[in-house]
Structures are given as C-alpha cells and as structure tokens.
Structure 1
Amino acid sequence: MGTQRNGYRKETFILSVDVGTTSIRCHVYDKEAKIRGTCTHKVSLLYPEPGRVEMDPEELWQSFVTVVKGAVQDSGFQMWQMEAIGISTQRATFTTWDRKTGHPFHNFISWQDLRAAELVKSWNQSCTMKSIHGVMKVLHFFTRQKRFLAASLVVFSTQHISLRLAWMLSNCPELSKAVNENSCCFGTVDTWLLYKLTKGSVHATDYSNASTTGIFDSYQVAMVVDTSTGTGEEASGWGQLSLVGCHRGAELKFSKVTAAGKKLTLNLLVQVQRDL
C-alpha cells in the first residue's frame, strides 16, 4: 500500500472513524492493520426537555474534523498519505436540512429520544396495525414467505426513525414547509457527514443505516438506475419518499442507498486534504 509523490513512493494509510453516542474517535491504520495514530473527542448530548435527547449537527461535524486532524497529527504522517476513510456511526439518529443552504432544520434526534412515545403507543394499539398483522398472518399461511411473517410480528418502537420523523413534521413548521416545497434533505449521521465532506455533492447512506429508518424494505433491497443523472449509479427506490399518514402528498428527499464499501474515497479524501 503506497502512493507516488514527488518522484518517490510513500507509505499510505487508512482512516477509520467511529461516531458513537458518547464519543467520536479516529484511528490511522497501516497496511498491517496496526494503529499508527488516534484521537478521541467527547460527543455533547443535549437534553432540552425530559425524555428528549439531541446533538448539534454542526458541533458533531466539527468534532469529526477535530478527531481526523488529531489522529493524522498523532501518527506523524501527512493527510495526503491517507488513502481511504471508513466511517461507522450510531444508527437511528437523524436530522433534516435545507437542500440549497445545507442548514439543519433541527438538531439530531438521538436513537435514545422518547418524544414520539405516545405516537408509538397509539400506532401499536391502532386498528390499522391489528389489521396489518391479521392480513400478513393469512398471507404467510398461504405463501410461507418470511417477509409476511415478519410483517405480522412487527411493532413500532421509539428507536424507529419513522415515527420520530413524523413527530418532527407535525411539530416543526419550518421543516413541514420545506418538505412541501421539496427542499428538504433527510439523513442519518453518516449521511450528514458525507454531505459535509463532499460540500453537498453526495447524499448517501448504507443498507445498515437505511434499515433503521423503518422505511427501507430489507427484503426487496430494490436497486434501480438513477436516470435523473444518467450516470448509471445505483439508487434507492425511495428517491422521493412519501410519508403516508403524516403529510399526504408531501415528499421528502431521501438519500441514495449505496452498497457498503462503494468507493467514495477519492471525493472524501480530496475534501479532507483541502479543508481539514
């Protein structure tokens, strides 16, 4: 693993960033998977009201920048020697932001947040859910397909993004307006970091994070060609996401779902090298 610079070959490394609930850390790995540099920064959690847990998106981004720079400095190497970057994040934590300005409409709503507890309880006890369970049991009996069995057992929890997002749409007028004007982006922590790293040119997530939204069909995993760009890149079938039962007819721009490991390395590291 190496790269050519100024006529001679230099050793290169891999950056690995883990964004957890209480801390964010970055390691620099060499080709033998040995840690050559590290940096850790505490994640600030906000508790605006009992049961509510949030994080400031801009502060999280700055913490990300801090640990990346700190780990590279600790390694004693240069940023241009970082050949790739891997990002692992806490899941089921989300935010929304203006597509044009990149300004968040609200803080990250943590997976620990309980503001939608009553909405969750209401849905789980509703006739709609009972009907869905009944129909799915019948379909499973006749087809023996596991997806119908799963649907017959599913219940909402406060850790599902879907109902916390529905709560935000009902209680954040600015967000609701942006959704109706089709000027809103939605994403989990990884989506936000990729968006910032690429100056808004990449709006993406992976299957693991998408599965926590409650609006991604893990059985179908239907990937389609993104005809809007003509690039032939894979995109999620949820390109324009309708939130049924929340804002009828309103659409929320959802991120492309890229296979884990799909190479965004070049774009990311150019941004890291220039701006971090």
Structure 2
Amino acid sequence: MKDFVLAIDQGTTGSTVALMDGRGRICASVNYEFPQHFPQPGWVEHRPADIWHSVEKGIRAVLRKRVCTPAQIAAIGITNQRETTVLWDRDTGEALNNAIVWQCRRTSDFTESLKSAGHEKMVRRKAGLVLDPYFSASKFRWLLQNTRGIGRKLRAGKVAGGTIDSYLIWQLSAGDAHVTDVSNASRTSLMDLKRCDWDSELLDLFEVPGSILPRVVPSSAVLAHTKGVKGLPDGIPIAGVAGDQQAALFGQACFTPGDVKCTYGTGSFIVMNTGDKVLQSRSRLLSTLAWQLGEGGKPVYALEGGAFICGAAVQWLRDELQIIKSAPEIEALARQVEDHAGVEFVPALTGLGAPHWAPEARGSLTGLTRGTGRAHIARATLDAMALQNADILLAMERDLGKRMKPLRVDGGAAANNLLMQIQADILGRKLIRPKVIETTVAGACYLAGLGVGMWSGVGEIRKIWEAEQEFRVQIKPARRRERLASWQKALERTLL
C-alpha cells in the first residue's frame, strides 16, 4: 500500500529528507550539511553538485531506517531555499557555474541602478517585490553575463535555469521535466503575480531570456516522475512543490486570510495569508504567491517580510566569536543574565531585509562596557532575532489596519523557549508553537499528498495540525516601548 510521502527540504546550509505517513506523522528524518562558499565579501555561493549529492545521500539514508519500502512511497514533495539561482546544461544536467545564494549581495549596484532609473514601481506592481539583490532576477543576469562559454550554449539552446526546486526536479526526473511552482516563481521578480506566468516586460528589464526558464505549474499536482534516482523506483510522482516559507505557511495550516506564521531558520520569515487578493504593502513588505492547489485552482496570496540573519547570528557566535560550542547552548548562556544590559546587536551581516531594505548595511555590536560578558552578547542576539521580527509584524498590522491573529512559530530556533518568550513580550502578542516545528517538511508532504489524493483537502489537514505550547505576554507595555526605543536607536546608527 502506498501510504507514505517522501519530503526533500533543501535548505541554505543542508538538505533534510523525511518520511510522513498518512496520519501526518513525520516518521523518519535525516539531514546532511554541505559547504558554503564566500569568494568575496558579501558574496555567497553553493556548488549545485553538493546540493544534489546531499539530497541523494539523504534519500538513501532515510530509507535505511526501514520505516517503509521505496514501493510504499506515494509521492515526493519538495521545499527549498527560494531565491537561490542556478544555470545548468540541458544535455548533461551539470551546473554551468556555482549557484548564487539568496543571501548574496553581488548585484546591489545593478538593482540600485534600476531603482534610480524609476523601475521599482513597475516591478512592485507586477511582481509584488522591491528591487533588491535578494531576488533571483538580478542573479540570473549576473550568471548570464559572467559564466564562461554561456553565449555559445545559449545560441544552441543548451542552457536551463531556475531556482533550486527546478534543479532538483530536473535531477530527479533525469531531465524529463523543467518546471517550477508558482510560489518559487513569485520570488524571482520575473513573474506577474496575477497571471501566474513569466512577464515579458520584467524579462526584458533584467535581460533574462524566457527560453531558459522552467514552465510555471501549481504547487500541488503531479508535476513529474522519478527516473534513474539511486534507491528509488522510477515513476514516483513529484506532486508537491513550494518555496520553504510558503511550505511552512501551509504546514502550519494557515489556510484562512489573516493567519500568520514566523519561521526561525538561517533567516526569519513572516508570512501572512491574504486569500485571493494581492495586498500591496505601504511598509515595503512583499506581496507574494502562497500556493495554488491543482491545475486551474485559485491562487492564494500572502504578505511577507524577512530578516536575512536569524539563526545565522547564532552560528556566527559559535563559528566566528566562538562564545558557544553549539547553537543550543545559547539559551542557557542567555538565561544567566536578566536582560541585555544595554548591549545591542544589529545582525546586518548580509544587509537588512524588510522593512528597511538596506543591502549595504553592516552589523553592529554596541553598548559594551567593562561589565559586558558572553551572556549579555548571547541575550542581545536573542533579543535582536525577536526585535527584527517585531519590526516586520508591526508593519504588517499597519498594512492590515488591525491586530493580527496569534503568531504561529516554527523552525529550528522555535525550540528555544527563552527566544519564544522574548518574542511574545517584545511583540505583545500570543505565540503558538506546533507539535511539529519543522513545518517546511510538513507543508511539502501535505502538498504532495493532496496532489495524489492521500488527503481530501485542507480541512482534513487542519485536523492533523496540533499545538504544542503557547507563549503569553509577560511584560508591561511601558517596558516593551522602552526596549523597542533602544533597538530603534541601534538600527538608526547601523543605517547611517
């Protein structure tokens, strides 16, 4: 009986492969990290072959856990780091250059030139996005202009391009399918949000030939089939695909307009379901596509804001400052002090995202005294993670014109109880943490399962979702205002 879904969660620092059963339980999971490459300050790259090998390794490893046989896998779901961009050879499937990662800022000058020329209004109207090197379009342009031998291959029609979901589907299907789902396409700055297809004016602006791009398809439907993948039989449907943050929104069962979640990963990403309407933000948040269920299904839209550095700030404390040996240690270290004691860490290590959009901003650590210790820096780091999110969430409320529903939280750092309490206090809103905090995996599984009929609809999935813990506000409004004011002063110094 085919009653398991295999999920591939391809993230910024590693790939997770997991198995979910028909009752929505994640029964097995493995993760393999791969190297990050930083060829110049502000540049971030991945070797696509490293990504694919981590996925292959993960598939074999999760099946060795003997939760199910390969023949019991009904479908495969994919969720992925979104704006990361790659070009590959249509004949061999080999990458033509390193992938440019979503964090990379190398195209800042180009996007600024477009902004100065007055193009941002058109881009926002059509794609829902601001002009920033974060998104894929300028990365495609850079690769097309800086990859050896690309002109000859383009003329011969040998170049394929896409985000990581497209690259993985190509590899999983032995090149039979070149597709991307609407949620990933909406992160490129090349898709018209309302038409759910590539836009000729946007393609011309960014100098990207439409011929290299994948076909835009729904997030939940049979999109391709496995072929020649080690450890898997041919013919397994690839039936669910979504960018990681949209997958997390789906995995949190945020199916009603106004439902909102925050995922704490390498960065932190807040996404709110806005239903069948494209909500244009007055606070420079992003309008994006959440998902589309089935061919001809009505698109569901969302409002999003993201901080580029969240969990990555903890990694920086571990790897560069070496004040902790492992990421989970930060909670116990931060609990050693009552508060941040005036220390402010603005983690603009790769610029600032929403709502500031300052790609050239750099991080700052201020308010240090002779009494400052490791614990104060740890506490200031957790505070910063929560404060960045509060900036975004409060901007969302201004756009909506009303208070939002309780915030659903997930991702690796959501397991940090101190961080969750700080977030509730600084935001002044209740937080709800689900039993399954890796909701990107859950969302990919739900989408794939729906695509092959394992579940009848979102109502059945809503019954599967369960809360694990709530975090209620524990500080007074005056103290919250004081904390937010201190943070704003630190931000202003960073943005000078």
| TM-score > 0.5, shorter chain as reference | yes
Secondary structure of the corresponding residue to residue 15 of structure 1: strand
- What is the aligned partner in structure 1 of residue 162 from structure 2? 187
CA-to-partner distance for each residue in 1:22-81, whole Å, 9 max, x for gaps?
221122111211222111111321112221111111111110011112112124432112
5 Å-filtered alignment, 1:84-233, equals 84-126=75-117, 128-129=118-119, 133=121, 150=125, 155-221=130-196
Q: Name 2:9's counterpart in structure 1.
A: 18
Maintained 8 Å contact 2:8/2:77 = yes
Q: Percent identity?
A: 25
**Which amino acid counterpart does residue 42 of structure 1 have in structure 2?**
E
Alignment match, 1:9: none
Would you say the 8 A contact 1:98–1:185 is kept in 2?
yes
Which residue among 215, 234, 237 is the counterpart of 1:256?
215
- What is residue 24 of structure 2 aligned with on the other side? 33
Q: Does 1:79 align with 2:70?
A: yes
2-structure distance, mates of 1:152, 1:30: 36
C-alpha displacement of 1:264: 3.6
| Match of residue 6 from structure 1 | none
Alignment partner, residue 8 of structure 1: none
Aligned position for 1:56 = 47
Most deviating of 83-92 and 31-40: 31-40
2:215 & 2:4 partners in 1: Cα distance?
28
> Is contact 1:37-1:73 (8 Å) kept?
no
Structure 1: gaps (5+ residues): 4-11, 137-147, 222-235
* C-alpha contact (below 8 Å) 1:204/1:256 kept by paired residues: yes
Whether the aligned pair in 2 keeps the contact of 1:61 and 1:193 (CA below 8 Å) is yes
Per-residue Cα deviation, 1:107-142 (whole angstroms, up to 9, x for no partner): 11100111111111111112x52xx74xx7xxxxxx
CA distance in 2, matches of 1:23, 1:152: 29
Is the partner of 2:151 in helix, strand or coil? helix
Helix, strand or coil at the partner of 1:192: helix
Q: Kindly tell me the number of residue pairs found equivalent between the two proteins.
A: 233
Q: How far apart in 2 are the matches of 1:80 and 1:47?
A: 41
| 8 Å contact kept, 1:94–1:186 | yes
Give 3-state SS (helix, strand or coil) of 2:149's partner: helix
Q: Deviations over 1:140-166 (max 9, x none)?
A: xxxxxxxx9836996410112111221
SS at match of 1:156: coil
Q: Structure 2: how far apart are the matches of 1:22 and 1:218?
A: 29
Question: Structure 2 length as normaliser, TM-score?
Answer: 0.43
Code of the residue aligned with 2:113 in structure 1: it is S
Distance 1:150 1:246 in 2: 16
Q: Distance in 2 between matches of 1:52 and 1:66?
A: 27
- Name the amino acid aligned to 2:204: V
Instruction: Show the counterpart of 2:274.
Output: none
**What is the distance in 2 between the residues matched to 1:241 and 1:173?**
27
Letter paired with 1:86:
G
Backbone CA RMSD of aligned residues = 2.8
Letter in 2 for 1:256: R
Q: Distance in 1 between matches of 2:169 and 2:111?
A: 30
Distance in 2, matches of 1:246 and 1:237, equals 12
- 2:486 is aligned to none
CA contact (8 A) 2:71 2:233 kept: no
Note if 1:244 corresponds to 2:197.
no
Q: Distance in 2 between matches of 1:152 and 1:185?
A: 22
SS in 2 for 1:64: helix
Asked whether the 8 Å contact 2:83–2:163 carries over to 1, the reply is: yes
User: Structure 1's 179 and 169: CA in aligned 2 closer, same or farther, altered over 3 A?
Assistant: same
Secondary structure in structure 1 of the residue aligned to 2:192: coil
Q: Distance between the aligned counterparts of 1:201 and 1:151, measured in 2?
A: 30
- SS of the counterpart of 1:104? coil
Show the counterpart of 2:305: none
Structure 2 residue aligned with 1:229: none
Alpha-carbon deviations, 1:152-206, whole Å to 9, x = none? 9964101121112212222224223322332211111010000001100010110
- How many angstroms apart in 2 are the aligned matches of 1:60 and 1:185? 17
